[in-house]
Amino acid sequence: MFMIIAISATLVGCASATSSGNIQVDSQIEANVPTEERSETETQLTAEVSDGELQVEPTPCSATLTPSNPEGPFYSPGAPERISLIESGMAGTPVLLVGRVMTTNCDPLPGALLDFWQTDVYGEYDNEGFELRGMLFADENGNYQLETILPGLYPGRPAHIHVKVTPTGRAEHTTQIYFPGSQFGDADDFVDSALIAALEEATGGNFIATFNFVMSP
C-alpha cells in the first residue's frame, strides 16, 4: 500500500510544523553555490503524507544487484530514527527519496534498516552531531521514503548520499546513492550506473529521487 506524497514550495519567510503532520521548513536554495554567490532566496517545503492514491510510482523490479560502495571516513553510528532529515532553517533543495528494498526476484525485504548520512548543501558533514544523519525501516512491502535535501559537493566527489542497508536477518550492505546530471559533479571511480537515482522535479521546484536496493534472493 502506497501513500500520497505531495510536495509544494512557495516563496515565504517563516517556518513551522503543523498539527496535521505536515512539515513546513524554510530553506534557501543554494545547492552547490559558493558562499560569495549565495542568495537570500527562501523556499518553503510542504510535504503531505496520507493514505490514498499513488502519486509516486514504484520503479520496476531489477535483476541488477545494488553494488556496494566504500563507507568513507564520516559515518557516525547511532543516528536517530526519523523519516525527515530536514530541520528548520536548513539550507538546500528539498528532495523526497523513495524506493524499495527487494531481491532480484522482486520479493520485498520488509523491515530492512536503512541508515543514511550525507553532507549539507555546502558539502560539509556534521561530525559532532547527527545533522543530515538518520535511520528508518522499510515497511511491510519493502518500501521506504526519506525527506532530505540534495547533498552538496566536496572536493573530488560527485554529490552522494551514504547508506547502510540491513535487511532483517541479513548482513549489512554499505553503498552510496548518486544523482544524474553534471550539476551534481563529475563521476569518480565509485560511481556505478546502478547507483544513480532517478530524479524528477516535483511540484514547486522540489525533487523526487527514486532508488531501489536490490539484494540477492
Give residues in contact with Fe ion (CB under 5 A): 72
User: Cα separation of 179 and 197, whole Å?
Assistant: 5
Query: Which one, 60 or 73, has the nearer CB to Fe ion?
Result: 73
C-alpha distance from residue 137 to each of 47, 69, 161, 170 (Å): 19, 21, 17, 14
Find the shortest distance in angstroms from Cβ 28 to Fe ion. Answer: 22
* CB closer to Fe ion out of 155 and 169: 155
Pick 66 or 175: Cβ nearer Fe ion:
175
CB of 70 to Fe ion, least distance (A): 9
DSSP 11: -
Least Cβ distance, residue 147 to Fe ion (angstroms): 20
CB of 124 to Fe ion, least distance (A): 11
Chain residue at closest Cβ approach to Fe ion: 72
Q: Which is nearer to Fe ion, 32 or 141 (CB)?
A: 32
Q: Nine-digit cell at 6?
A: 505531495
Give every CB contact of residue 182 below 8 A, 6+ residues apart in sequence: none
CA geometry: angle 28, 191, 184, nearest 5 deg: 25
Distance in Å, CB of 106 to Fe ion, minimum: 30
**Quick one: 67 or 72, whose CB is closer to Fe ion?**
72
User: Which of 49, 3, 42, 35 has the alpha carbon at shortest distance from 205?
Assistant: 42
* Cell 511540484 belongs to residue: 203
DSSP 42: -
